[in-house]
Every structure is written in C-alpha cells, then in structure tokens.
Amino acid sequence: MFEQVKTILDSAIAGGELGPHQRIPSERELSVALGASRMTIRQALVEMMAEGSLYTRSGKGTYVAERKIEQPLQRLTSFTEDIRARGSRPASRVLALALLPAPLELAVALGVRPGTELVRLRRLRLANDDPLAIETSHVAHALCPGLVDVDFSTSSLYETLTTRYGLTLRSAKQTIEASEALPDERQLLDLPRHVPVLRLHRLTFADDGRVVEFVRAVYRGDRYQLQVQLR
C-alpha cells in the first residue's frame, strides 16, 4: 500500500503537479484523499525523504525537493556544463587558491615528484546560489602558470585549462563512494541532518595521456544522481 502512495506522489512530482519547494498536503489530508492509513502515508513520506524527493521544515510541513542534478558518467563534463545543461546558473565560492609543494600522495596521483609545485583550488560549487558540492582540485603549476590569479567565482576551471593553457581534457578516472559529511562540509553545504554525501575522486587526463588534475569532491547526496549507461 505504501508503494502505491509513493507511486502516486512520485508521478505528481514527475508530472509537475507538485513543483519544487511546494508544500504537499498534510498526512491527514493525504490519508483521506488516498484512502490509506496515516501510518502508510508516513512510511511513504519517510522513504521519499530518504530518497531526496521530499524534505521537511521543522514545524512547517513537508515540501517537494528540487529535481536532482543528473551527472552523466559516460562523458567528461565540468560542473559548469552540468549545471548549465539543466538551465541553472553555476558559480563558486573560492575557499582556497594557493600554491603548495606536492605531498607524497598527490605527487603519486599526479605523476610528479614530491615537492613539485601544485595549484590547489578549493571551491564551494553553487547552482542558482544553492550550495551543491565542495571540490578540491590539484593541478601541476608548470601546466598552468598564473592560474592562482584567475577569479574562479565565475570562471570554469576546465574552460580556463582549455582556452588559456591549451590543454585538451580527454578522459577521467572517477571513483564514487557514499559517506557521512564532516561537520565543516555539512555547514558549507547547508546539509540537512541525516543526508549523506557522495565522495568523488577524479583523475583527469589530457589527450596526450598526461594527468592534468586530481580532484577530491563532496557532493550533496540529496541533490545528485549519477547516471551511467550499461551495455
């Protein structure tokens, strides 16, 4: 029975009858309208909250969440491209942009000697001013001298690497894990309690096979959906 209630609500959201940030009817109203017990309604709502299609505001009711951002995994895309593709406005809050000598782990990942100068760019990524992800990118400074002077609040890293430094980004190796958010990540992402995050690591390669970028990213689990086509 609760699966049926979920299906009805899911289709109302998919069909646009219930739009993002719209308050849904109360448990009591839904119970009357759908002829299901309040316990059944609650079970459906709890599951939909866990899936990220609904959220609550304490004391104010239950609301429809924004549609998740679909990141296709078969193509190498940037955050800017993913956000623009859904008609939203990408931006960043630059949390750090500095040079650092490569510690061993990063040196191994990027295929450079430990101590090699790297650019480290840590950004809070926003779509229509909503925080969605924290990304920490590392690029060998020799590949992109002057990158530390770029204003990344509006610029795209991939566009900059391509147009200013002539690097053609060709492929990437990415790992994805579910995880709990750390307190500072939770705060930056404005993450509701109990919502998990996705941790992504990406090694991005140029067309000549060189590693260009090593990224550690934390994405809001309630706002992201990773899609892959299996053949």
Residues at the site binding ligand 16G, with contacts judged by CB under 6 A: 78-80, 135, 137, 156-159, 200, 202, 204, 213, 215, 217
SS (H, E, C) 113-172: CCCCEEEEEEEEEEECCEEEEEEEEEEEHHHCCCHHHCCCCCCCHHHHHHHCCCCCEEEE
Report the chain's C-alpha Rg in angstroms: 21
- State which residue, 24 or 215, has the beta carbon closest to ligand 16G: 215
Q: Compute the least distance from the CB of residue 123 to ligand 16G, in Å.
A: 7
Number of helical (H) and strand (E) elements in the chain, helices listed first:
7, 10
- State which residue, 3 or 70, has the beta carbon closest to ligand 16G: 70
- State which residue, 65 or 217, has the beta carbon closest to ligand 16G: 217
Decide if 140 contacts 112 (C-beta within 8 A).
yes
Q: Compute the least distance from the CB of residue 135 to ligand 16G, in Å.
A: 5
Q: Compute the least distance from the CB of residue 13 to ligand 16G, in Å.
A: 26
What SS3 class is residue 29? helix
Q: Compute the least distance from the CB of residue 53 to ligand 16G, in Å.
A: 23
- 160 vs 157: CA distance, rounded Å: 5
- State which residue, 62 or 160, has the beta carbon closest to ligand 16G: 160
- State which residue, 40 or 156, has the beta carbon closest to ligand 16G: 156
Residue with token string 């790992």: 175
